[in-house]
Amino acid sequence: MTAAERRDQLIGVARICFAEKGFDGSSIEEIAARAEVSKPVIYEHFGGKEGLYAVVVDREVNALLGSLREALIDPRSPSRRLLERGTMALLDYIESCPEGFQIIMRDSSELGGSGFASLLNDVIVRVEGLLIPRFEERGFDPKPVPLIAQALTGLVAMTGQWWLDNPEFTKEEVATFLVNLAWNGIHRLDKNFHLGGEPAPTV
């Protein structure tokens, strides 16, 4: 193999290993054995397990983020259509790259990683930008938009993780329920609602 081919091979093998066992559960010895190379080859290309893990996570985050950015690229599209496209983009990635999604989710806790958190933050910022003008058009105070953007993004991401372990639902079914729940929650938002039935406090 050329150096580039060997590097890609090692990334592919490590990707499967990290998805199965996480960072702590994977070893350089196992990755080297699966790739049928000696440990020094991995050190030569990546400097160690941490370097290899960082490359794998970075590739997965960029792949998913690219799909989400493409889905949300046109702010002129109707809000419901953007919600549908963003939801399907995430579910498409989970369906086609389950190992990659497992790695990204694990990266939010292992090695103090922030790959998934950074990705979600990018999506949340885009969702905020889409929601603010809609709120203003309806005479709503845009102050809670960051909270709502967090809730919507978390709803889709965490349900996607659950779906990975519960594949009896089709991708279309999951997307339909998520979009229906999120859209009706936003579309029927009561600006005077407050827990306990009391009027919402004024600020």
Tell me: pLDDT of 169 over 60: yes
Tell me: pLDDT of 161 over 90: no
Q: What is the DSSP letter of 143?
A: T
Side-chain-facing half-sphere of 34: CA atoms under 13 Å: 17
Return the higher-pLDDT residue of 108 and 16. Answer: 16
Provide the mean pLDDT of the chain.
Answer: 82
Q: Can you give the pLDDT at residue 31? A: 96
CA distance 41 to 104: 25
Q: How is the chain split into domains, by residue range?
A: 3-189
Q: What is the CATH topology of the domain spanning 3-189?
A: Tetracycline Repressor; domain 2 (1.10.357)
- Of 66, 73, 68, 91, nearest in space to 179 by CA: 91
What tokens does 127 get?
């969702």
Q: What is the DSSP letter of 160?
A: H
Is residue 159 within 8 Å of 178, Cβ to Cβ? yes
Q: Output the pTM of the full model.
A: 0.73
Instruction: Name, of 32-36, 78-82, 139-143, 158-162, the range with top average pLDDT.
Output: 32-36
Tell me: pLDDT of 111 over 60: no
- Of 150, 172, 168, 149, nearest in space to 87 by CA: 172
Q: Can you give the pLDDT at residue 80? A: 79
Return the higher-pLDDT residue of 65 and 99. Answer: 99
